[in-house]
Structure 1
Amino acid sequence: MIPIRAESDAVAVAGTETQLSALPLTAYRSAVALDEPFRPTAAPATAARLDAHVRSALHLLSTDPAVSRLGLRSDSLRSLADAGAETGAATARRALRALLTVRDPGPLPEGADRELDALLGAERHLRPAVSVLELPPIEEKLRGTTFPAAAEVVLWRGDITTLTADAVVNAANSRLLGCFQPLHLCIDNAIHNAAGPHLRDDCHTITTAQGTPEPTGTAKITRGYHLPARYVLHTVGPVVQGRPHAQDAQALASSYRACLDLAAQVETIRTLAFCAVSTGVFGYPKEEAAPVALRTVADWIAAHPGRFDRVVFTVFEDADERAYRHALSAGARRDWSAM
C-alpha cells in the first residue's frame, strides 16, 4: 500500500483545516446505506464449489479494464478461468484477488455479484471466527496492571478479519479506496479482500461526496459486507519518516479518537477492534505508537463510561505485541496520564 497524503493533511490535526475538510457522518450515512443490513445476492457456497465460483467470476471479469493492469489480456484470463484442474485452484484464486485489488470502484458485470457473494460468504465461514466478548480483558491477562481501562480493553493477537466485533478499524490511505497493490500484505488489502468490492464502492461514494482526500487523523465508516464485523472504520494515520515528533503523536491520537467518536454515533456499535494504526508502511515506530494508542483509548473511555462493552487492540506480529506489553508494563511504573 502506497501511503498517499493530501497536501492539506493538517499537521496540527485538531485544527480548523481538518475539521472543515472532513465530511460528517450525517452527510453520507444514507448514501452508503449504513443502517441497512447487508443482504448478499447468493448464499455461501459449499467448500466443494469454491473453485467453480472463482473461475466463473474470473470469466465474467475478463473484459474489465483492470485486467491490463495485471499485464494480462482478456483471452488469457478466460483461458485461466477455463483451465479447470490443470491449473491449481490457488492460482486462480490469487488471480481473482489481484484483479479485484487493482479494479476501480463501480458496478460489476452481470452475474459477478452472485459469484463473488457465494465465494466470499463461503470463505468467511471457513475462517475461524473469534468473538470479541469472549476475549479476556487486559486486567485478566496482566494481573496487577495499572492501566486505567484494563476492564474494558483487550489486547489480542490474530487476524482482524476473523473478529466478530460490531466494528473493526482499517488503516487507510488518504484516497480511502484500499490498497491497489496486488497481493500486498497490508491490513488495508486484507480487509478489502475479505469484505469484497462493495467496500471500495462505499469508500468511493464517501470521497466523491467529500471532494477531497481524507485528512490525517479523521475517520469514515462503512458496512463490513463479508467481514464478521458489521462495520469498518477507515482512518488515515500519520506517515512518519524517522523518529516521530509531537505533531505525529497528536495526529495518531486523533485517528484513535476519531474512530471512537464516529463509532459512538452508531447506536448498535458496542464492540470495536483497532488495528495498529500507522505502524506498517506508514512508518510509525511500534514502541512509540503503542503508548499513544493505549493512553488515547483509556482517556476516551474515562470520558464516556459504559459507551462500549469492549475495545480491542489487535496485533498481528511479535513486535506489535511486544510493543503493547512493554507500554503496559511501563505504565505500571508511572502515572498513565504522564505517558
Structure 2
Amino acid sequence: MDEKEKQEKRLDFLVEQFKADSREYRNLPTPKDREGKRALLRSLMNIRFPRKMDEEVLRVQDAYLKERAREKGIVEPSDIPAIRGCLSLWQGDITRLSVDAIVNAANSEMLGCFIPMHSCIDNCIHTYAGIELRAECFRQMNGLREKWGRDYEQPTAIPLLTDGFNLPARKIIHIVGPIVSRYLTEALEKDLADCYWNTLELCRTKGLRTLAFCCLSTGVFHFPGRRAAEIAVHTVTRWLAGHPGAMDRVIFNVFKEEDRKYYEEILE
C-alpha cells in the first residue's frame, strides 16, 4: 500500500471516529469525495471540547496530519530570503513553516476557534496541530485559573507557549492582541507593540531562535493593517537592536496581498 492509499484510509478512519465521538453529529452522512471528508473531519475537530480521546485515534490523527504537512509543503527559514538583517517577509500558510516557533493570534479563552472551517489563523493552527493542542491549552488555562480564579482569561500581550504537535514548527506562541472597538488609541498601539516585544522576550528566555509572526490584531480585531505593520516592524527592529545575535531569523508572515504590500513598503 503506498502512502496515498494509507492517507485515504487514515482519513476514512478519523472521520468515523470523530463522528462517533460527537453525540450531535454521529449520524451525519459521510461525504464520498476526499475534500468533503477533509472538511467534515476539520469541522468535527474544530467543535470538539478538550477531553480524553482514544490513543489509537490520536496515533492515526498524528500520522495523518504529519502527512498533510508534507503534502502542503514544508518551508524552511533558509527557503525565505532575508530582507533586512535577520528579518524576512513570507506570504502563505503559517502552518507550513518549519521554525522554532510560530505566533498564533489567540482569543482570551486560549482554546482556539470553535467555528467549523473558520478562516482565522487560530482555527488553522489548531486544525493542523491536532486536538492535543486544545487539550494542552485547556490544561495550562486550568492551572492559571487555579492560581488567579475561575474567571481568569489571558490578558492582552501575555504569551502562552505550547508545543507545535503535528505542525512543522516546534512551538506555538499564543498571544491575545488588542481589539479596536471604535477608535485607534495610543494605548492600543502600545498593547500591540507589547505583543511583539513580549513574544521576542519569551523566545530569548526559551532559546527559540527562528520565529514567524502573523499579522496580530488585524482582521476581526479591526486594527488597521498598515499601522499594525508599522508597529510590528518598528518594535521588532528595536528589540533586535537591543539584543544583537539573539535571533537567527524573524519572519513576518502575511496571508493577504494588501498586508504583503504594507510590509514590503515598510521594509524597503
TM-score band, normalised by the shorter chain? over 0.9
Q: Does 2:21 align with 1:64?
A: yes
Partner of 1:111: 56
Q: Structure 1 CA distance, aligned partners of 2:162 and 2:46? A: 18
Let me know the Cα RMSD of the aligned residues: 1.5
Aligned pairs for 1:34-183 (under 5 A) are 46-65=3-22, 67-68=23-24, 72=25, 74-76=26-28, 79-80=29-30, 87-138=32-83, 150-183=84-117
Q: Deviations over 1:11-58 (max 9, x none)?
A: xxxxxxxxxxxxxxxxxxxxxxxxxxxxxxxxxx82222222122112
3-state secondary structure, aligned to 2:212: strand
Contact 2:19 2:44 in 1 (8 A): no
Instruction: Give aligned pairs, total.
Output: 261
TM-score normalised by the chain length of structure 1: 0.74
Equivalent of 2:228 in 248, 269, 289: 289
Structure 1 outlier segments of 4+, above 6 Å: none
Contact 1:172 1:236 in 2 (8 A): yes
Q: Structure 1 CA distance, aligned partners of 2:256 and 2:55? A: 40
Return the offset for 1:75: 2.7
Equivalent of 1:324 in 239, 263, 268: 263
Equivalent of 1:216 in 156, 175, 193: 156
Equivalent AA in structure 1 for residue 157 of structure 2:
G
Partner of 1:250: 190
Return the offset for 1:89: 1.6
Q: Structure 2 CA distance, aligned partners of 1:291 and 1:247? A: 16
Return the offset for 1:323: 1.6
3-state secondary structure, aligned to 1:214: coil
Q: Does 2:122 align with 1:188?
A: yes
Contact 2:225 2:259 in 1 (8 A): yes
Equivalent AA in structure 1 for residue 172 of structure 2:
V
Q: Structure 1 CA distance, aligned partners of 2:10 and 2:158? A: 37
Q: Structure 2 CA distance, aligned partners of 1:293 and 1:136? A: 19
Return the offset for 1:326: 2.9
Equivalent AA in structure 1 for residue 255 of structure 2:
F
Equivalent AA in structure 2 for residue 157 of structure 1:
Q
Contact 2:212 2:250 in 1 (8 A): yes
Contact 2:111 2:138 in 1 (8 A): yes
The alpha-carbon distance between structure 1 residues 238 and 263, as it changes in their structure 2 partners (threshold 3 A), is same
Partner of 2:134: 200
Contact 1:61 1:109 in 2 (8 A): no
Q: Which of 1 and 2 has greater Rg?
A: 1
Contact 2:95 2:167 in 1 (8 A): yes
Contact 2:110 2:174 in 1 (8 A): yes
Contact 2:161 2:171 in 1 (8 A): yes
TM-score normalised by the chain length of structure 2: 0.93
Equivalent of 2:211 in 263, 272, 285: 272
Q: Structure 1 CA distance, aligned partners of 2:242 and 2:224? A: 28
Q: Structure 2 CA distance, aligned partners of 1:300 and 1:288? A: 18
Return the offset for 1:256: 0.7
Q: Deviations over 1:298-338 (max 9, x none)?
A: 11111111011010101111111112123335xxxxxxxxx
Equivalent of 1:312 in 236, 241, 251: 251
Return the offset for 1:125: 1.2
Contact 1:47 1:122 in 2 (8 A): no
Answer 1 or 2: which has greater helix percent.
Answer: 2
Unaligned runs of 5+ in 2: 146-151
Equivalent AA in structure 2 for residue 275 of structure 1:
C
Partner of 1:17: none
Return the offset for 1:110: 4.7
3-state secondary structure, aligned to 2:235: helix
Equivalent AA in structure 2 for residue 190 of structure 1:
C
Identity %: 37
